[in-house]
Structure 1
Amino acid sequence: MKIERRSLLGLAAAVAAAGGARPARARQAIVAPAPAPPDPTEVIRLWPNGAPGGEGVSVTPIVPERSTDPAFHDRYAQYTTDPILTVFRPERPNGSALLLIPGGGYRWAVLDKEGYDVARVFAASGTTCFVLRYRLPADGWKAGADTPLQDAQRALRLIRSRSADYGLNPRKIGVLGASAGGHLAGLVSVRTDATYDPVDAADAVSARPDLTVLMYPVTTMADPFVHAGSRQHLLGDAPTAERIAAYSLEQMAWAGAAPVLLLHAMDDGAVPVENSLQLLSSLKAAKVPTEAHLFQEGGHGFGIRLIMGRPAEAWPDLVRAWAGRLDFAL
């Protein structure tokens, strides 16, 4: 029997359609990951004539990159000598500002995870954000443990004094600190004493934030819940009981402080959740308007990238909702 070639082709097609032939595997396109967004170019030097008390400082600043993924940065600033604010201007400013203070155990400051990444989220909804790159207490500065606080106080004063330049309401300037940066944000929220001599007219305005957000904060310097690394880099190897008490947020006088929001994961293995719980009790006793959100899981240092699909993913919206009830747009 003579079988034409077109019949054979038709038979092969029929067999393939019936599952008798393995279909050709579709070639998948290789898509390169999107590069990390560029850093803002606008920065503000905190101390135009040099940071105070630097006569004994000999460190050299470094900003290492830990990420091997081109889609995101993971940098930290160490041995900072010229502290700065990196400015994230929103397309449609809502009149509010956030000073962002990243953590790092007072050993360094993680710029991206708890700084730039968070700034982009809140700038997208209209908040002008300022990420603080601060000096560290163990680098030989005369102010010692108060060195980072000098930078935080100066930063808030500069932001408030320049509110007209950024379209800000000077009574809508908040602070958000994470981990050891949460400790520093707490210090600048509760302490009102002068830690440096005035530099210029900006130092005549208030350094008190109008709202405070503390993410998985280091709050206590006392055992058993202290983050040992933060205490060591802030207070040294063997601080006295008096020094420990003087830098434990839960032992400070919070009456009259701005409203506070606490965020913490119950499974935080680095900074125990009791840091937030102890401070919550102190804030309640001082009648400070306070809200707290404790997530079942999230670990420590979750920031923005590490919360996708986890309970802590809701934290930026929770912050916005809380601030909105205080007539503070974020």
Structure 2
Amino acid sequence: MTLDRRTLLGVAALASAAPALTPVSASAAAQIPAVAPPDPTEVVQLWPNGAPGGENVTVTAIVPERSTDPAFHDRFAQYTTDPILTVMRPERPNGAALLLIPGGGYRWAVVDKEGMDVARVFAAAGVTCFVLRYRLPADGWTAGPDAPLQDAQRALRLIRANAADYGIDPDRIASLGASAGGHLAGLLAARRDATYAPVDAADAASFRPDLNVLLYPVATMADPFVHAGSREQLLGPTPTPEQIAAWSLERMDWTGVGPTVLIHAIDDPAVVVENSLNLLATLRTARVTSEAHLFQEGGHGFGIRLISGRPAAVWPDLVRAFGARNGWLSA
């Protein structure tokens, strides 16, 4: 990609006009306890009568633990058949909500690194958080690649329809997607079509987020910048040119999408930074209120814990500042 002066200016870095916010993540290490905290106990099943299109699904859900350190969990959810939201309520809620969509290359969804760990940081700032455990596209669901999006749309609708019960403003619901979860969050933001038939009154609510955070997102399905593993899990080993175009975020119509912030490390070896750069160009063409933060180092999948003491550790505060300027948070 060739960047002209206007595009470089649009890669907007730290906004000097940001409202004053007390930093909650200037030191990521301060957010990590000596012993992993317990999971929240409030869990919401997305589908009261089971997820749609599961007649040919034969997988059995697993949630393996990869961490051997008692200070943190590192779990991933694979073969999910009963999608859920885990609710993390803050001690002092400020009315804002955040739907977290972890990554995992559409092969699984990490539970902690881009889910619970991130939720704890934003909950500490007063945001009511919802961590999504979603179905995967290659597990035999009738909807195929739309199965994860069905879960994301249903999750956002449930949050908005039950806003009063959660003590949140139904017009201040953001989504945060990381890696392949960033692709899913991008679909949630850009696509206008409902991907499932309504199942109850909650489905009358809008599934469009009011603000979008895309963390090192898988954006394109096209060579040479595609994350090949995500594409294969989503579209199979030999997708058609039409499928590649239809599922590439930078080729979608983002007109009318809420404010969107992109976060990426330039040295990301897995999901190269051109995913965010090319998507940023699309956002600017569509006149979406947007901002991008590109860090010299950080690699891929850094979440919160893996960037302690490094420049990218400030990304939650940058998101909060962007949200405060654009109506999601109060200063």
Please give the TM-score of this superposition, normalised by the length of structure 2. 0.89
1:70-149 equivalence runs, <5 A: 70-149=70-149
| 2:249 aligned partner | 249
- 1:94-116 CA distances to partner (integer Å, 9 max, x unpaired)? 00100000000000000000000
| 1:287 aligned partner | 287
Tell me the distance in 2 between the aligned counterparts of 1:308 and 1:66. 20
Tell me the distance in 2 between the aligned counterparts of 1:134 and 1:197. 18
* C-alpha deviation, 1:243, in angstroms: 0.3
For the residue of structure 2 that corresponds to 1:99, the secondary structure is strand
* C-alpha deviation, 1:34, in angstroms: 2.8
Tell me the distance in 1 between the aligned counterparts of 2:182 and 2:316. 16
For the residue of structure 2 that corresponds to 1:122, the secondary structure is helix
- 1:288-313 CA distances to partner (integer Å, 9 max, x unpaired)? 00000000000000000011111101
| 1:161 aligned partner | 161
Tell me the distance in 1 between the aligned counterparts of 2:212 and 2:43. 23
1:1-330 equivalence runs, <5 A: 34-329=34-329
* C-alpha deviation, 1:328, in angstroms: 1.5
CA contact (8 A) 2:95 2:127 kept: yes
Tell me the distance in 2 between the aligned counterparts of 1:129 and 1:228. 30
CA contact (8 A) 2:103 2:109 kept: yes
* C-alpha deviation, 1:177, in angstroms: 0.3
Tell me the distance in 1 between the aligned counterparts of 2:320 and 2:203. 29
* C-alpha deviation, 1:207, in angstroms: 0.2
Tell me the distance in 1 between the aligned counterparts of 2:230 and 2:215. 15
* C-alpha deviation, 1:327, in angstroms: 2.3
Aligned residue identity for 1:292? A
* C-alpha deviation, 1:192, in angstroms: 1.1
* 4+ residue runs over 2 A deviation: none
Aligned residue identity for 1:217? P
Tell me the distance in 1 between the aligned counterparts of 2:257 and 2:327. 17
| 2:11 aligned partner | none
Tell me the distance in 2 between the aligned counterparts of 1:313 and 1:123. 17
Tell me the distance in 1 between the aligned counterparts of 2:188 and 2:35. 35
For the residue of structure 2 that corresponds to 1:159, the secondary structure is helix
* C-alpha deviation, 1:257, in angstroms: 0.6
For the residue of structure 1 that corresponds to 2:129, the secondary structure is strand
Tell me the distance in 1 between the aligned counterparts of 2:267 and 2:206. 37
Please give the TM-score of this superposition, normalised by the length of structure 1. 0.90
- Name the larger-Rg structure: 1
How many percent of aligned residue pairs carry the same amino acid? 76
Q: RMSD across aligned C-alpha pairs, in angstroms?
A: 0.8
CA contact (8 A) 2:218 2:271 kept: yes
For the residue of structure 1 that corresponds to 2:229, the secondary structure is helix
For the residue of structure 2 that corresponds to 1:44, the secondary structure is strand
Tell me the distance in 2 between the aligned counterparts of 1:144 and 1:273. 28
Gaps of 5+ in 1: 1-32
Tell me the distance in 2 between the aligned counterparts of 1:209 and 1:316. 18
- 1:31-77 CA distances to partner (integer Å, 9 max, x unpaired)? xx832100001000000100000000000000000000011000000
For the residue of structure 1 that corresponds to 2:256, the secondary structure is coil
* C-alpha deviation, 1:160, in angstroms: 0.1
| 1:20 aligned partner | none
- 1:180-225 CA distances to partner (integer Å, 9 max, x unpaired)? 0000000000001011000000000100000000000000000000
CA contact (8 A) 2:225 2:271 kept: yes
CA contact (8 A) 2:174 2:328 kept: no
Tell me the distance in 1 between the aligned counterparts of 2:328 and 2:153. 21
- 1:250-309 CA distances to partner (integer Å, 9 max, x unpaired)? 000001111100000000000000000000000000000000000000000000001111
For the residue of structure 1 that corresponds to 2:231, the secondary structure is helix
Gaps of 5+ in 2: 1-32
CA contact (8 A) 2:221 2:247 kept: yes
Aligned residue identity for 2:246? A
Tell me the distance in 1 between the aligned counterparts of 2:55 and 2:172. 36
For the residue of structure 2 that corresponds to 1:100, the secondary structure is strand
Tell me the distance in 1 between the aligned counterparts of 2:130 and 2:308. 24
Tell me the distance in 1 between the aligned counterparts of 2:222 and 2:186. 16
Tell me the distance in 2 between the aligned counterparts of 1:326 and 1:39. 31
Bigger relative contact order, structure 1 or 2, given CA contacts below 8 A and separation 6+?
A: 2
